[in-house]
Amino acid sequence: MKDKSHDPNQMTGAAMIVRALIDHGVQHLFGYPGGAVLPIYDEIFQQSEVEHILVRHEQGAGHAAEGYARSTGKPGVVLVTSGPGATNMVTALTDALMDSIPLVCITGQVPTHLIGNDAFQECDTVGITRPCTKHNWLVRNVNDLAKVLHEAFYVATSGRPGPVVVDVPKDVQFAVGTYHPPRKSDVHVSYSPRVKGDAAQIRKAVALLASAKRPVIYTGGGVINSGREASKLLREFVEVTGFPITSTLMGLGAYPASGKNWLGMLGMHGTYEANMTMHDCDVMLCVGARFDDRITGRTDAFSPGSKKIHIDIDPSSINKNIRVDVPIIGDCGNVLGDLLQVFKAEAKRPDIKAWWQQIAQWRARNSLSYRKNNDIILPQYAIQRLFEATRGKDTYITTEVGQHQMWAAQFYGFEEPHRWMTSGGLGTMGYGLPAAVGVQVAHPDSLVIDIAGDASVQMTIQEMSTAVQYELPIKIFILNNQYMGMVRQWQQLLHGNRLSHSYTEALPDFVKLAEAYGCVGLQVLKPADLDGAIKEMIAIKRPVLFDCRVAALENCFPMIPSGKAHNEMLLPEEATDAATASAFAGGKALV
């Protein structure tokens, strides 16, 4: 037998894992140790190229990695142990799958000879995570490990991005085998996502766009995922065509909120002008969005008079909820580039002055208006003041889930992509704080703010401890209404105002809690004190928990009620009890 002791590619499975991370340019990974991953932790200890961030709960590692990925465009990497470590990751994996976030999660597993024996801390990780990953692998042979790890990175980051899991039994981590650096043949031949759009379809789309009288561009997270170039091309396309543009929750920032063609977000809590424009348009260009049910409202009444063009890298997103006329399968950036080129060469921008006049009338309804209050802080006002105070600064925003999330989307203006991290598809309370940790790890000198709710923030509040340990000066800006506001809103609208368990009694003293963790706690009760306190928060170079006491019973408008179409929105000034009752008629609403 050949002497392999000097072959640098001979190493243990555990060493291969760290080596593969380095080969893929990973600088940070988020994790939590346990019996089944100790060999890997031992390797991590003995090197300095990859920095490990110790979280306080595996779900936090997952969301931190998501925040890291979304704010950088690079994959987020997670390391957790078998059994409970793996099951704690399930929420974050599902979240990443729904929002198409590239994650590579390595899980430890019990030794191969114990698999299936109900061994200590054994669970069927690949079985449990199969429906919540883009793909997963159980590696039973150390000589397969390098190939699987490289494939894992490729699958997570290519095509429609998503989370992957590599489950590595402990004996495979100890075993010695041959490592090889990433190479093309590491990838399943059956997997080859399509990047370039079909030229004939692109021509058809251009012809349709050039003939439009009432066009709209509707974009989503796909534009962000495609990379910065896609956002640049999108902006140029809007400039060249002069078309109005709206976006989903996931797509905010691809086109700047200060841009003159911006209609605001669309959908259930989108602006009146965005939804009316969608409803009445004659040509719709959907780029990297998926006609989700929060967007379309009632599908049989969704934009009834329009021809629809849909660009998406995932063929399964096309014709899933809404039938489209011109599907284009490909990467958003790539297709936008081609579309722009053909449009410039062959089409003239149509005259849509009348359409803009119509849109101006809808805008004049001022659907995000709210009445001012000098005594209590209104949550919308708090977001507006936060936005003003951070305008022009190098800021990243994450959120939890609830009313505060919608207000953040409505009132915080995003100028750039990758600046807005929110759990859209899964709607995971507890996402924002660990996501902020991940963002801050990637951008240590930036201002990172989690716009939080009093209920959501308690789901992963222990990650404050992570922020303190790694000196991550995140800001947790809680819109504290002492309610699960979004649940209460639905109970008011749909369940006869019976507020069943949506009141959070016995809230902690957030200021003391912050101090107990070693963060700074601030509390504000009055509108007059808000600006000063925000300024103070920004100036503090340590993690801050900001308890912003807001009006308890404020609700989030405008709103498309269930079973209604885009042109049946409920506007804030109309949202009297009677109007609300009739808007929700048919339900048991407010009887």
Partner 1 sequence: MNQPASAYFLEERHDPNETHTLSVLVQNEPGVLARVIGLFSGRGYNIESLTVSETESQKHLSRVTIVTTGTPMVIEQIKHQLDRMIPVYSVVDMTLSGRSIERELAMVKVRGTGNHRVEALRLADAFRARVIDATIESFVFEITGNSAKINQFIDLMRPLGLVEVSRTGVAAIGRGPEGM
Q: What gap in Å lies between CA 481 and CA 383, rounded to an integer?
A: 14
Contact 113, 169 (CB under 8 A): no
Please tell me which residue in 27, 121, 462, 523 is annotated as part of the active site. Answer: 121
Q: What gap in Å lies between CA 289 and CA 250, rounded to an integer?
A: 9
Compute the residue count for the chain: 591
When asked if residue 144 is in the footprint of partner 1 (CB under 8 A), the reply is no
Tokens of 507: 């809230």
Q: What gap in Å lies between CA 511 and CA 520, rounded to an integer?
A: 7
Q: Is 471 a catalytic residue?
A: no
Comparing CB distances to ligand TPP, the nearer of 159 and 453 is 453
**Where does residue 204 rank: exposed (0-12), middle (13-18), buried (19+ CB within 10 A)?**
middle
Tell me which residue has its CB nearest to ligand TPP.
453
- At closest approach, how far in Å is the CB of 100 from partner 1? 12
Q: Which does 9 bind (CB under 5 to 8 A by kind): ligand TPP, partner 1, Mg ion, none?
A: none
Tell me which residue has its CB nearest to Mg ion.
453
Stretch that binds partner 1, among 58-66, 293-301, 442-450, 573-581 (CB under 8 A): 293-301
Name 53's bridge partners. 30
Q: Which of 300, 351, 375, 505 binds partner 1 (CB under 8 A)?
A: 300
Contact 264, 246 (CB under 8 A): yes
When asked if residue 131 is in the footprint of partner 1 (CB under 8 A), the reply is yes
Pairing of strands 28-31, 76-80: parallel
Q: What gap in Å lies between CA 183 and CA 149, rounded to an integer?
A: 11
**Number of residues located near ligand TPP, criterion CB under 6 A:** 19
Q: Which of 258, 299, 361, 373 binds partner 1 (CB under 8 A)?
A: 299
Tally helices (H) and strands (E) across the chain.
23, 20
Tokens of 591: 């009887």
DSSP string, 363-410: HTT-TT-----SSSB-HHHHHHHHHHHHTTS-EEEEE-SSHHHHHHHH
Comparing CB distances to partner 1, the nearer of 315 and 518 is 315
Phi, then psi, of 408 in degrees rounded to 5? -60, -45
How close are the terminal C-alpha atoms of the chain, in Å? 84
Q: Which of 454, 463, 547, 554 binds Mg ion (CB under 5 A)?
A: 454
Contact 62, 35 (CB under 8 A): no
Stretch that binds partner 1, among 104-112, 308-316, 342-350, 351-359 (CB under 8 A): 308-316
Q: Which of 5, 48, 189, 357 binds partner 1 (CB under 8 A)?
A: 189
Q: What gap in Å lies between CA 95 and CA 82, rounded to an integer?
A: 20
Stretch that binds ligand TPP, among 224-232, 352-360, 425-433, 520-528 (CB under 6 A): 425-433
Query: What element of type H or E holds 224?
Result: helix 221-226
**Number of residues located near Mg ion, criterion CB under 5 A:** 5
Q: Which of 60, 417, 453, 572 binds ligand TPP (CB under 6 A)?
A: 453
477-491 b/e (C-beta count within 10 Å ≥ 16 → b): bbbbbebbbbbbbeb
Q: Per-residue contact track with ligand TPP, 393 to 412, x per CB under 6 A?
A: -------xxxxx--------
Stretch that binds Mg ion, among 54-62, 87-95, 125-133, 485-493 (CB under 5 A): 485-493
Tokens of 385: 């003041």
When asked if residue 60 is in the footprint of ligand TPP (CB under 6 A), the reply is no
Q: Which of 314, 416, 529, 531 binds partner 1 (CB under 8 A)?
A: 314
Residue located via tokens 């936060």: 386
- At closest approach, how far in Å is the CB of 406 from ligand TPP? 8
Q: Which of 75, 108, 424, 453 binds Mg ion (CB under 5 A)?
A: 453
Please tell me which residue in 170, 307, 308, 475 is annotated as part of the active site. Answer: 170
Phi, then psi, of 375 in degrees rounded to 5? -100, -40
When asked if residue 191 is in the footprint of partner 1 (CB under 8 A), the reply is yes
Q: What gap in Å lies between CA 409 and CA 427, rounded to an integer?
A: 14
- At closest approach, how far in Å is the CB of 278 from Mg ion? 30
- At closest approach, how far in Å is the CB of 367 from partner 1? 21
Residues between 476 and 495 that touch ligand TPP (CB under 6 A):
479, 481, 483-487
Please tell me which residue in 486, 537, 559, 569 is annotated as part of the active site. Answer: 486
- At closest approach, how far in Å is the CB of 544 from Mg ion? 19
89-127 b/e (C-beta count within 10 Å ≥ 16 → b): bbbbbbbbbbbbbbbbbbbbbbbbeebeeebebbbebbe
Stretch that binds Mg ion, among 30-38, 161-169, 449-457, 465-473 (CB under 5 A): 449-457
Stretch that binds Mg ion, among 52-60, 150-158, 384-392, 473-481 (CB under 5 A): 473-481
Q: What is the DSSP letter of 114?
A: G
Comparing CB distances to ligand TPP, the nearer of 177 and 485 is 485
Residue located via tokens 């609700």: 555
Q: Which of 293, 346, 394, 577 binds partner 1 (CB under 8 A)?
A: 293
Tokens of 279: 């409803």
Comparing CB distances to ligand TPP, the nearer of 238 and 426 is 426
Stretch that binds partner 1, among 94-102, 271-279, 292-300, 572-580 (CB under 8 A): 292-300
HEC per residue, 295-350: HHCCHHHCCCCCEEEEEECCHHHCCCCCCCCEEEECCHHHHHHHHHHHHHHHCCCC
Q: Is 486 a catalytic residue?
A: yes
When asked if residue 318 is in the footprint of partner 1 (CB under 8 A), the reply is yes
- At closest approach, how far in Å is the CB of 432 from ligand TPP? 9
Q: Is 213 a catalytic residue?
A: no
Strand extents, DSSP E, 55-97:
76-80
How many CB atoms are located within 10 Å of the residue 350 CB? 18
When asked if residue 174 is in the footprint of partner 1 (CB under 8 A), the reply is no
Interface contacts to ligand TPP, rule CB under 6 A: 400-404, 427-429, 453-456, 479, 481, 483-487
Interface contacts to partner 1, rule CB under 8 A: 126-127, 130-131, 134-135, 138, 155, 160, 188-191, 293, 297-300, 314-316, 318-320, 323, 490, 494-495, 562-563, 584, 586-589
Q: Which residues are catalytic?
A: 58, 120-121, 170, 486
Interface contacts to Mg ion, rule CB under 5 A: 453-454, 481, 483, 485
